[in-house]
A and B are shown apart, each in its own frame.
Chain A
Amino acid sequence: MPQLIYGVWDGVPYDNRAGSTPSTPPGVDIEALANFDEGNPISVLMSERGFLVFDASVPLLWAMHKHFMKVASESCGKCSPCRTGAALLCNALNKAMNKADFSDWDTLSEVATQMRETSLCGVGKTGPIPLLGALSYFRDQLQATPSDLKHGFYSAMTSPCIEACPGLVNIPRYIDYIKDGHVDLSANVVLQHYPLVGSCGRVCVRSCEKACKRGHVDAPVSIRNLKRFAADKALASGMLTPINATTVHEERVAVVGAGPVGIACAYHLLRRGYPVDIFEAKSDAGGMIRYGIPIYRLPKETLNDEISIVTAMGAKIAYGQKLGKDFHVDDLFKNGYQAVFIACGCPEGTYLGMPGEDTSLAGYENGIEFLERVYEGVQHGTPPKLEGDVVVVGGGNVAMDCCRAAKRVATGAVHIIYRRTEADAPADPEEIEAARAEGVQFHFLCGQKSLEVSNGSITGLRVQDMERTEPDASGRRGVKPKEGSDYVLPCSHVIAAIGQKTSASMLTEEDGIARDRKNCIMVNSAQETNRPGVFAAGDCTVGPRASGPTTMIMGMGQAYFAARSIDRYLRKGRVSFDSRWRMSELITNAHLMRDDEDVPSKIPAERCQVRELPAEERAGTFEEVEQTMTQEEAWLEAARCMRCYRIYSVVTAQHVPGGE
């Protein structure tokens, strides 16, 4: 366990130099701060809350200077105290390092205080905190030191929204670029992470907005719509164009599955100079976001445009090639591919599993089948027509897609039943709202019991009321059926939207790739399978960063990481550690990021409500419902971002991969 020697945390000094009973900051898991990478202990940690020293031999002044170099390099330059303060402090710290009798500590302290107390955003407000702590309590440790020390150093700037994003996209930066008038650069920030910018800007589950601190002032920044704005202005307009990626490596990589995860991985491999071929089971690319997300949420022109980024970069997509049916993993290696990336997703929907249910019954289908049928119909100009009433079962986003799509093609009423409460439903609240506005009838605390069938066709779904159980030891409340409360919801269609699964036949024993009992591929934290050269990500994987069916952004985040691992594997024969992801892990595991700090008092500014196709005009049409923000709306919305940036730095015993 690392020993805290001294430090300042949340303004409180900790000094264990005298060797008395060591004290440590409450709430911080010191044990989680042992090593940064393997065999490389953390000597000093600096963050928005202070600094902690675990190795007294590291000169504190050197560490502070390193940290401030990072702060100065991240200062956006708009507000005066941060712009010039960071540069002045770098300058002064450098002088102090080189001058044994440096005496101007008071000016240094004054500038740091000015920067801390009067800066506009998180960079300036939090950047000086470690230094101010050292100046207040450990000035004796700030002594002249050689500046060319061989310690490792790694530093990352992040924010609550970035940490909430599974792709670690630098959200405040792309919002800034919109505010600054550079939609091209805004879109390009996201393009550092994945090519499907406008698609993600339409359908992302936006964990970032839940973490957004603006929510404590009025409402979270409309981050997803800003991203969509940047994509529509910069990518759809042709302002930014993809070009053929230069091939710098000979090793060919096969990507299996042209869903968002496969596309994202192919994109990162192409950027790194690998020739990539993509194998897709269906006749078109896009996977679940093509077939599973209805056109009114994601117009397929947007998706096609964004998929064409990877083909323009040089990827070839072979369609109608299903893993386990048309080819096996061995075939790929035999055909000269040096690495394989599997992202086959969970293409099969599950049924309700009610006693005696007949899945071949006309009118009974699962959500995935239904959405695919609607997609194919709309594409060919003949949307399916559902005669009579429809009942959708489920409370997630797929269930919302099903009921909203059903509302557009059904002649009768559309009901949705969910066993738990509205607050428990995993669906995006805005999706629930939209479904309600379109006339979908919600039945919460309502569970399915059995299909009512007469003469081979469905006449209704027997349902029962549920009630919430008392909270268990962990405070969680479950649900249980209310005795004798069952009744029949008359309908002629039942759509089961309660989950999806991998295709059991995609891999065989001979492939030698380990799977769990749900047939998900087991991967390690580098998205590597047990078979050398085979990597996997997305819905079909489980592992430290993967848990089966997931969100698009989570899958694309894994894809970025997998591409990086494939590159290391092909270049060095083994995958290695990623400092940026490790820093996030450290922040989470050691509980470093404060969630309770005061949000600055701001004058409220309304969150942008994008224009929508009126609810009464949506029946029968798959036209896109939400519209792109106007330029004026985007400027105003972007100005709501408070840039809650903060910088985390570690000094380590040895060099950190990707660090200094």
Chain B
Amino acid sequence: MKAYINNREYEFEANESILDVARRNGIFIPSLCRFEPLHHKPATCRVCLVQVTDEHGTRMVTSCDTPMKEGMRVDTFSKKVRDMQRTQVEMILADHNQDCASCARHGDCELQDLSEAVGLRRNRFASILQKPAAGRLYDDSAHAMVRDMTKCIRCLRCVEVCRTVQGVSALTVDGKGLGSFIGVGMAPDHCSSACIQCGQCTLVCPTGALAERDQNDVVLDYLASPDVTTVFSFAPSVRVLMGDEFGMAPGSNVEGKIVAAMRAIGADIVIDTDFGADVTIMEEGTELLGRVTNGGVLPMFTSCCPGWINYAEKHIPEILPHLSTTRSPQGIQGALSKSYLPKKMGIDPKRLKTISVMPCIAKKDEAARPQLARDGVPDTDVVLSVREFSRLLRRMGVDFSSIAPEPFDNPFMSASTGAAVIFGTTGGVMEAAVRTVYAILNGEELSGIEATPLRGLEGVREAELDLGPKVGKVKVAICHGLRNARILAEQALRGESPYTFIEVMACPGGCIDGGGTTRVKQKYHFGKERRNQSLYAIDRSMPLRQSHNNPQVKLLYSDYLEAPNSEKAHHLLHTAYKNRKDVPSQSIDENRRKLTLTE
């Protein structure tokens, strides 16, 4: 079929939108709400206006939701079209909080880009409706994130990602008119809602309406205090993510630069969460073997992902007995940083503040769990996402791209293995666990160490592994994205799971695409293959590739914990879960008051 855009003829398929035909042919039409990576086009921003002429006459339509028709003539940049696109952006800005200087998306905002694209030179309505806009919700009750609805432009991308990618469906559309905003269903606030704080919505929000809670000033206070000894640690994936924030190629390994940058801003001790990951494997692997040999609850699900823990507790608590009790690498690193490390280094643990740099924002919520505190003092004091840490470096004038890499030097908690590094991608925890479990069972290393069936980016993967004569063959599964996790959890609850061990990462792709990673406008999970490959490349380059061979891990057990799953290890490195499912119930009358009907 054929139609005309700006007087040139183009071919198209039936039911293709005008915008799709235009984009396919390199014709730019500005738009805002549409989010191509999720095929999301709610048609709410109404910016992608074009003028069409067909047998019904000439009219303005939004190109994203209007199908191209045979013989249709489309005009994308006449004066009238440009004027109306520009007026539309003015209308969007009319009830948008324009305090850009203090915004989480400062300098990285799709609405600013759009304003430039339509040639905005005046902002006629901004002064008229700012007051009603300012009355909208600002909710910072959640540990991980802030919802600033004065910045919401109602693109509904967050609702889409929450429903279709995560299957969490915590976000709702509330209110009406100027007061419309993104809500959290029947819950009174964000913190107590069904939200699991994975932060995938913050990756797609075009403005600063949804963002991580910025805790950089807490860290700056620590750095400025003479009474505080700061311990910085960063997650396996962070070394292949930080480069993105500074214009380097996706997946660049910048481990040494991060160590150097932490020291440059004044970190007293820099350690590696890889170490905690190796300890996780020792504990979790031993726990798994215990369950297999003692008839414990199987399949066992991994427990290092805080988004998954929140999901299990809030959405499918029946699965909790299946969760490994082993803490996450961050949880282990925090506990040991405040017990083992000061003992070894002869520091007063009360002086210590632990700062954890993560690809994740749910880790902020994890750090606030009462189960992960001792005498009211959290094991991890502050979690900074990759985005925040990068911002901190910019604030402190650290030129990350030119800083010379430096090695770790802490003799107790900074040694790493290839097994720990691959924690950062989906399948990595499983692969690391298999390497160690095999060795424990058989007294020898697994040959052909790279478990290729466990690798890849499909949502659910399964493999059969031969663990040697004692246990034989077992089936394991790996999933990422909570929709997939739910399928495997429900299968387990029905008693139909063929698996012994299941790895779950809440975010699709695992930590490399976590909710705390770099936001790139109009893109979603843009560098996952490169980041994934980069982590496997680091694993290959490591002299030690099994957690149990990490010399500092060996030292930890010989000098301090005695053995994996020992009483002391249980006390320090394991945790408990709580059913937090809230089945909302309300009387019809009480609920009626929330109706926004006018009659």
* Residues of chain A at the chain B interface (Cβ within 8 Å): 70, 72-81, 83-88, 91, 107, 110-111, 114, 117-120, 156-157, 170, 173, 179-182, 184-185, 188-189, 191-192, 238-243, 309, 580, 598, 600-604, 631, 635
Contacts and interface: CB of A to CB of B under 8 A. Distances in A.
Contacts of A85: 91
Contacts of A74: 176, 598
A315 to B, nearest CB: 15
Contact of B177 (A86, A119, A189): A86
A83 B591 contact: no
Interface stretch (B43-51, B213-221, B311-319, B410-418): B43-51
B162 to A, nearest CB: 9
Contacts of B45: 79-80
B95 A83 contact: yes
Interface string B155-176: 0100100010000010111111
B176 A75 contact: yes
Contacts of A241: 585-588
A84 B84 contact: no
Given A81-B91, A188-B595, A191-B592, A602 B65 contact: yes
Interface stretch (B23-31, B125-133, B279-287, B386-394): B125-133
Interface residues of B, number: 62
Contacts of B91: 80-81, 83-85, 88, 111, 114
Nearest to A84: B94
A215 B214 CA distance: 49
B495 interface: no
Contacts of A111: 87, 91
Nearest to A313: B588
29 contacts: A74-B176, A75-B176, A77-B177, A78-B154, A79-B45, A80-B44, A80-B47, A80-B91, A81-B46, A83-B95, A83-B177, A83-B180, A88-B128, A114-B84, A118-B46, A118-B62, A170-B597, A181-B159, A181-B171, A182-B174, A182-B185, A184-B584, A184-B586, A242-B587, A601-B61, A601-B69, A602-B66, A603-B17, A603-B65
Given A84-B95, A603-B15, A182 B65 contact: no
Secondary structure of the A contact surface, majority rule:
helix
Contacts of A602: 65-67
Contacts of B174: 180, 182
A80 to B, nearest CB: 5
Contact of A114 (B88, B583, B592): B88
A180 B584 CA distance: 17
A184 B186 contact: yes
B24 to A, nearest CB: 15
B259 interface: no
A192 B598 CA distance: 12
A76 B177 contact: yes
A84 B95 CA distance: 7
A551 to B, nearest CB: 23
Given A80-B92, A192-B597, 20 more contacts: A76-B177, A77-B175, A77-B179, A80-B46, A80-B47, A80-B88, A83-B95, A83-B177, A84-B129, A87-B177, A91-B129, A118-B62, A157-B598, A180-B174, A181-B173, A181-B185, A239-B186, A243-B589, A600-B66, A601-B66
Nearest to B132: A87
A120 B44 contact: yes
A262 B228 CA distance: 74
B60 A188 contact: no
A118 B49 contact: yes
B349 interface: no
B280 to A, nearest CB: 35
A189 B46 contact: no
Contacts of A181: 159, 169, 171-173, 185
B597 A87 contact: no
A79 B186 contact: no
A468 B132 CA distance: 65
Contacts of B227: none
B582 to A, nearest CB: 11
A182 B175 CA distance: 11
A635 B163 contact: yes
A421 B234 CA distance: 76
Interface string B1-25: 0000000000000010100000000
Contacts of A107: 124
Nearest to B173: A180
A185 B176 CA distance: 14
Contacts of B586: 184, 239-241
A464 to B, nearest CB: 49
Interface in B45-98: 45-47, 49, 56, 59-62, 65-67, 69, 84, 87-88, 91-92, 94-95
Contacts of A83: 91, 95, 154, 177-178, 180
B599 interface: yes
B456 interface: no
Contacts of A604: 15, 67
A88 B124 CA distance: 11
Contacts of B256: none
Contacts of B175: 77
B587 to A, nearest CB: 4
